[in-house]
Structure 1
Amino acid sequence: MWPNHINKIPKEIFGDPAIFEMELERIFYGPEWHLVGHVSELPNKGDFKTFDLGRRPILIARGEDDRVRIFYNACTHRGTQVETSTCGNRKSFECPYHQWSFNTEGALVGCPGEKEFTPGFDKANYGLRELRMEQFLGLIFVTSSSEAPPLEEWLGEIAAPLTDILGGDGKLRLLGYHKVIYASNWKAYNDNDGYHAPLLHSAFRMLNWQGGKGRQIATQSGHNAIEAELSLPKGNRFLNDPSLIEFKGADPRQGSRVVQLFPLTVATKHLDTINLRFAIPRSVDATEVHYAYFGLESDSEEMLRHRVRQSSNLLGPCGMISMEDASIFQRVHLGTFTPGNVEFQKGVKRTDEFWSDFKQNDEASFLLKWEHYRKVMDFERRPQA
């Protein structure tokens, strides 16, 4: 089903429910790492947040021993979802069905009627099922596969630009969230390249994205990073309030950093906006994205207020960038129901083998991600006229 030319992707993979089910098993439940949080979201003992890994609900909690753990959010009795709040603080987690109770380290500590249970029943064997978790500069990653490589090996050379986004040491301060459900397949959402940035987005045109001399990094594991140079507009030709794109940070590069980790993680730094995106493939035609905004622990209150304002105006629900992206994702998804292939052109040097040097506004860097996807899904290339 897969075209022989490496810059062509079959449209049918975006809208086929059977392929979506296969993706859940091979990618979202397979040997990949998935970003689900940052430790600054759980600063206190008993803090928790819930999320979904594909269709599987998970619970992320900081225990009384100050360790962060990830569990399947399902009671070990009859499988009922235990916690339904998005986030909060608990002394324990109680299943509403039969009131089985678990402490913040996941251990079963109470179950009514225990004396009448199966002979030999032992609460120690019925704690919440813990998932494999690793951290990178405070980022919390999870995998449900024992075959996933160590996290830093999986990140590879993308660790460097990711470190830049996180301020060098990952010591962040949570500012807030917003949630969006895009009417598109997850792959259409995550195929957002550098080529479109100055063409679709007026904000990036103002910041001279197209004229920059940045670069892209693409890896065999399907990861991508854009390091873009930006230049602030002189005078007040574009905005009634130019402070919306004012740069106040200490980073002299004043640039834009976008890291996309296979399959569905995005981390960005545009000017003073630090943003992590935790995404869930809800169905073949719906993708839920939680936008989380951060400052640095060392920020002054004035700087934090500036970050909140800039984050809202660039990436918020009515931001200069987000509204334009949302309208395109659905149109891209609908277009994939027509016959044929998606074709990449900008920066494509050849169609028979891959290369490694990319400009900041190329779309060709995403071809390595698609090759990784093709191999994971075991789709064979075929000659095409």
Structure 2
Amino acid sequence: MSDQPDPRRFLETDRADGSIYNDPALFDLEMDRIFMHNWIWVAHRSEIPEPGDFITTFVGPHPVIVSRDRKGAVHVMLNRCRHRAATVCEQHKGNTASFVCPYHGWAYGLDGALRGVPHQNGYGQDLDKASLPLVNLRVEEYQGLIFATFDHAIPDLDSWLGAAKPWIDLFMKQGAGWPVKTMGEHKFTFPGNWKIQLENTTDAYHFPIVHKSFLDSVDQETQDILNFVGGTGFVEDLGHGHSVMVMIPELVDLDENLDAPIPERFLELADQLAETYPPEKVRQIIRAVGGSGFNLNLFPNLACSMAFFRVLRPLGVAQTEIRHIAIGMDGGPDIANQARLRLHEHFQGPMGFGTPDDAEAWDRVHRGALAGRDIPILLNRGLAHEEKRADGNLYSDVSAETGMRAAYRQWLVAMTGEPAEETVA
């Protein structure tokens, strides 16, 4: 359509036009070209462990049901009755044998098949139930992460994740030998564009400034560990808009360096665990409790962020929903999972030190971007010393904006349908 904005005018290699955050027509285009034609994270396996389990969530603006059928297969279906479009499920999660529309009673199986229609004789021979299931999206899974897409023509999930897969594998070591499980969440909205949060996950530059109150709340040993800006970490472009920010290199692989000293804040927990577990297992659990030393950004809506999942959902051009999902050890010691929850609450919780400060910064970015015209958003930090690894991945120092540039390159690919330009380092 001629009235659609040209995405190329919003973005250059090292900067973006400020209106990339606040153009309503551009936002509408994003909901179509990005959120209907890419792999979107919808759930973790542990949220629907048993047959009949389901959760309700969204793929972009589209309400969906994620369910596990009686054979164990996972389905992601539009939460919309095929009769008059009413949602067929309003519970956030549960276990059921079927989904029944509350308006006219049409009943659907866990796989979305239309099973029953009240007073079906009213349709005569004109109703073919087999042709009217809940609309199923394409579904694939990696390491317990469940993704869905409307687009049946895009490459498989394995190809999409690509170089991000080894980092997902490392992140899942937070199970300490047990599977990772979700342990509850909180969600909130902030008055700003979704891309502002997308940029944040691999932005170390802000940490000592925005999160000074958090740093003041922890012991000196923890402050020293988190003093990573200017350190030996890095940010790497993993392709397809994904990126990783390694803040604490010694905590990348939680199965390594198990003989390292136990941080003082975990000594009491270690003593309690030692009553049940041998020393090496205690150290493995303690390292898992502290979380990984990196943030992994999976374009466009999931962050595996040190010790939790952060999920974004665009609600409007100037409103975004954020979910912070705590994770723990499925089968691991309760006291260790409780310790993880306390750490999660300290930073990510609604009364914590990190989330309110982040949300305030995101709000300010959106409001500030409304000031003036043709003033660029700079994305050039670390560009001057960005290098290329043997596999072609670009990387730079830990405070570089390499991750943001990675996301915007994929944004432009998705928005235009044109391949990414070759980058030179």
Q: Please, what TM-score do these two structures have when normalized by structure 1?
A: 0.87
Deviations 1:239-296 (A, max 9, x none): xx9569x996246997522111111211112xxxx31123211000011122211112
Paired residue type of 1:10: D
Q: Note if 1:81 corresponds to 2:91.
A: no
- 2:205 maps to 1:172: no
Q: 1:4 to 1:65 in 2, by over 3 A?
A: closer
**Retained in 1: the 8 A contact 2:178–2:330?**
no
- Number of equivalent positions: 366
Change (3 A) 1:320 1:117: same
Q: Which amino acid aligns with 1:83?
A: C
Letter in 1 for 2:33: R
- 112, 116, 135: which one pairs with 1:106? 112
Corresponding residue for residue 91 of structure 1: 97
Selected match of 1:327 from 352, 357, 360: 360
Q: Write the distance in 1 (CA, Å) between the matches of 2:11 and 2:128.
A: 57
Q: Where do 5+ consecutive residues of structure 1 fail to align?
A: 233-240, 381-385
Identity of aligned residues (%): 28
Shift of 1:116: 1.8
For 1:229, which of 248, 253, 261 is the aligned residue? 248
Letter in 2 for 1:376: A
**Aligned match for 2:159, one of 153, 156, 174:** 153
* Equivalence for 1:56: 62
User: What corresponds to 1:346 in structure 2?
Assistant: 381
Deviation, structure 1 residue 188: 0.9
Tell me, in whole angstroms, the C-alpha distance in 2 between the residues paired with 1:355 and 1:107.
Answer: 44
How big is the shift at 1:175?
Answer: 1.1
Match of 1:309 among 331, 339, 342: 342
Partner of 2:138: 132
- Give me the whole-angstrom Cα distance separating, in 2, the residues matched to 1:60 and 1:252: 29
The residue number in structure 1 matching 2:422 is none
Report the AA paired with residue 37 of structure 1: A
1:185 paired to 2:193: yes
- 1:56-97 deviations in whole A, cap 9, x for unaligned? 111001112222211011111122111111111222111011
Partner of 2:398: 360
Q: What corresponds to 1:258 in structure 2?
A: 295
Q: Indicate the residue corresponding to 1:194 in structure 2.
A: 204
RMSD of aligned alpha carbons: 2.9
Relative distance call for 1:359 and 1:41 in structure 2 (3 A) is same
Contact 1:14–1:187 under 8 Å retained in 2: yes
Amino acid at match of 2:367: L
Q: CA deviation at 1:334?
A: 0.8
Give the one of 410, 413, 419 matched to 1:372: 410
* Greater share of residues in helix: 2
Distance in 2, matches of 1:78 and 1:159, equals 41
Say yes or no: does 1:249 pair with 2:290: no
Contact kept, 8 Å, 1:81 with 1:95, in 2: the verdict is yes
How far apart in 1 are the matches of 2:32 and 2:413? 14
1:144 to partner: Cα distance: 0.6
Would the aligned equivalents of 1:177 and 1:292 in 2 still touch at CA under 8 Å? yes
Relative distance call for 1:5 and 1:52 in structure 2 (3 A) is: closer
CA distance in 1 between partners of 2:342 and 2:291 (Å): 17
Q: CA deviation at 1:105?
A: 2.2
Given residue 372 of structure 1, which amino acid in structure 2 is its aligned partner? Q
